Amino acid sequence: MIKMVGAEANAKEGTNPRGKVIAYWVATALLAFIVGSGGIGDITNQWGTLETVEILGYPVYFLTVIGVWKVLGAVAILVPRFPRIKEWAYAGIFFEMTGAAASHAFVGDYGAFAYHILTTLGFAALALVSWVLRPESRKV
């Protein structure tokens, strides 16, 4: 009887609760969509991107560089395996979003009620949520 309880406890510890898995995939899919579509917008110089780099004082070619990395990061967090690349992608997304918030803050581009700063910090928080909830198979 004691062995069965111990085995039962070990089996429960090894599984992920269904809610955690669902929360992980919702956060990850949302993050991949936000980052990937933003990257495509950067690469193709869609509405708002040129104005943003002008406001922040970055050269226009910066959009292509960061856009390519955003698309690659979005793909990396979605594909199976490659846990080390996923770690780098999460770190890159977090640094990019917090860097964007800092850039907007430093140039005084607060927008309506600090929209640019709060939005990018929210995306950084979403990256953290996805990273924390990832299953064991996606960890290094």
Is residue 3, in this structure, part of any structural domain at all? no
| pLDDT tens figures, 38-95 | 999 999 999 888 888 988 999 999 999 999 999 999 999 999 989 999 999 999 999 9
Is residue 8, in this structure, part of any structural domain at all? no
| pLDDT tens figures, 106-138 | 999 877 778 889 999 999 999 999 999 998 877
Q: Which two tokens stand for residue 65?
A: 């560089």
Number of separate domains in the chain:
1
Is residue 70, in this structure, part of any structural domain at all? yes
Is residue 132, in this structure, part of any structural domain at all? yes
**Stated pTM of the model:** 0.83
Is residue 10, in this structure, part of any structural domain at all? no
Is residue 12, in this structure, part of any structural domain at all? no
Q: Which two tokens stand for residue 107?
A: 């140039």
CA–CA distance, 82 with 41 (Å, rounded to integer)? 26
CA–CA distance, 90 with 96 (Å, rounded to integer)? 10
Is residue 13, in this structure, part of any structural domain at all? no
What domain range is 30 assigned to?
18-138
Torsion sign across C-alpha atoms 100, 106, 111, 112: positive
